[in-house]
């Protein structure tokens, strides 16, 4: 690192709280080093109370860009100049790019999900997907899938505080894209079964299956899956959730959340540097298998 940092090195930030546990600094710095790019990626403990000053500082210091995580993802747009269409529709930003003083907010989670599918040889464009979730990750996936050309989305969620957000997402998709989206209550298991049966792909985009819900799934039994169905879980820790284990037993092609994590980073990396992330190298050093 000492050899890499010079007077010309450009800073990329990550602003969130808590954030010290993040694997993003390692991922981006390994990729910069591999490609010999003169950037350094550092995490900063920033919450809503210091967010505005941080963005002013980024402008003043001509920082090239930043990732943004909770609790700032749904607030930071107030301090930016422009938003990508997906960030606008999601109401969330996870990447900032500073082009000569113009700060644009992007959301790359959904792009990462779609790129991971493509990397795994899965083509969901023009097809139907059933997805569970209405939180930050789920919304980004649903919006990006609709923008990219998934023909139909059946969205399920429990009736918790995220329900209204799901209603808004469905309205946005139906008004602003060519995709047909419908929202269902996850407690209606007969409808869940029916919608999965007519889908090409099923995705869990909730925290079900990871701590504190590790070992659990809302899928009642194997009869909900068939061997031709593709089953995706965006949870990556554990790498194999109870739902993915069930899907594998049925014979489904499966994918965990590691690819989405890698490719959401890769999308941001390319926006900052103009260079594609060295994906196969990153898979090796981060021991990513999905
Ligand atoms: P969030 O808090 O914004 O959303 C939580 C979602 O889980 C909501 O839809 C909520 O209704 C649902 N939920 C909560 N308890 C539930 C239960 N008992 N049964 C069914 N649904 C329930 O969270 P988020 O940021 O959207 O993250 C969701 C999951 O996605 C987490 O496991 C996170 O680790 C994972 N994630 C993965 C990636 C990746 O790159 N692979 C990126 C972001 C998030």
Mean pLDDT of 123-143: 97
> Which is the closest atom of ligand 1 to the Cα of 138?
26
User: Long-range contacts made by residues 85-88, C-beta under 8 angstroms, separation at least 24?
Assistant: 85/147, 86/110, 86/111, 86/140, 86/143, 86/144, 86/147
Residue 1, pLDDT score? 64
208 CA distance to ligand 1 centroid (A)? 7
Query: What are the strands of the beta sheet with 201-204, ordered from one edge?
Result: 180-185, 152-157, 128-132, 201-204, 230-233, 253-255
Residue 2, pLDDT score? 65
pLDDT digits (tens, 9 = 90+) for 158-185: 999 999 999 999 999 999 999 999 999 9
- Does pLDDT of 23 surpass 80? yes
Question: 24: annotated binding-site residue?
Answer: yes
What the block records as the tokens of 175 is: 């008004």
Ramachandran angles phi, psi of 180, nearest 5°: -100, 115
Q: What is the mean pLDDT of the chain?
A: 96
Residue 286, pLDDT score? 87
235 CA distance to ligand 1 centroid (A)? 8
Residues ≥6 apart with Cβ < 8 Å to 162: 133, 134, 135
pLDDT-derived band at 4 (thresholds 50, 70, 90) equals: confident
pLDDT-derived band at 287 (thresholds 50, 70, 90) equals: confident
Report the share of the chain in percent with pLDDT over 70. Answer: 99
**Closest C-alpha residue for ligand 1 atom 1:** 135
Lowest-pLDDT range, 2-6, 52-56, 223-227?
Answer: 2-6
- Does pLDDT of 278 surpass 70? yes
Residue 26, pLDDT score? 95
Residue appearing with tokens 């990447």: 95
Mean pLDDT of 270-279: 98
Q: Which of 133, 164, 239, 267 to mutate to test the pocket of ligand 1 (most atoms within 8 A of CB)?
A: 133
Mean pLDDT of 257-282: 97
- Does pLDDT of 289 surpass 90? no
Please give all residues whose beta carbon lies within 6 A of any atom in ligand 1, as ranges.
109, 112, 133-138, 157-158, 160, 162, 205-208, 210, 218, 234-236, 257, 260-261, 264
Q: CA 76, CA 48: separation in Å to the nearest integer? A: 8
138 CA distance to ligand 1 centroid (A)? 7
pLDDT digits (tens, 9 = 90+) for 210-249: 999 999 999 999 999 999 999 999 999 999 999 999 999 9
Report the share of the chain in percent with pLDDT over 90. Answer: 97
pLDDT digits (tens, 9 = 90+) for 28-39: 999 999 999 999
């Amino acid at each position: 690192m000492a050899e890499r940092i010079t007077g010309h090195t450009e800073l990329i930030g990550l602003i969130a709280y808590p954030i010290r546990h993040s694997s993003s600094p390692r991922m981006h710095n390994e990729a910069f080093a591999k490609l010999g790019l003169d950037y350094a990626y550092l995490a900063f403990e920033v919450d809503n109370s210091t967010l505005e000053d941080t963005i002013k500082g980024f402008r003043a210091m001509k920082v090239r860009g930043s990732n943004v995580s909770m609790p700032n993802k749904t607030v930071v747009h107030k301090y930016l100049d422009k938003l990508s269409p997906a960030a606008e529709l999601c109401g969330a930003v996870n990447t900032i790019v500073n082009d000569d003083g113009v700060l644009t907010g992007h959301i790359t989670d959904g792009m990462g999900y779609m790129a991971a599918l493509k990397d795994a040889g899965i083509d969901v464009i023009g097809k139907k997907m059933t997805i569970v979730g209405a939180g930050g990750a789920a919304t980004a996936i649903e919006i990006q899938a609709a923008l990219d050309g998934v023909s139909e989305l059946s969205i399920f969620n429990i009736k918790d505080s995220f329900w209204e957000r799901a209603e808004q997402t469905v309205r946005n998709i139906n008004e602003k894209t060519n995709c047909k989206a419908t929202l269902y209550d996850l407690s209606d298991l007969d409808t869940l079964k029916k919608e999965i049966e007519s889908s090409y792909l099923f995705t869990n985009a909730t925290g079900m299956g990871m701590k504190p819900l590790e070992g659990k799934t809302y899928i009642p039994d194997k009869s909900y899956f068939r061997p031709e169905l593709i089953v995706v879980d965006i949870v990556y820790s554990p790498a194999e959730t109870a739902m993915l284990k069930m899907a594998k037993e049925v014979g489904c092609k499966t994918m965990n959340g590691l690819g989405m994590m890698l490719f959401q980073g890769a999308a941001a990396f390319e926006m900052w540097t103009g260079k594609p992330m060295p994906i196969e190298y990153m898979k090796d050093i981060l021991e990513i298998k999905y």
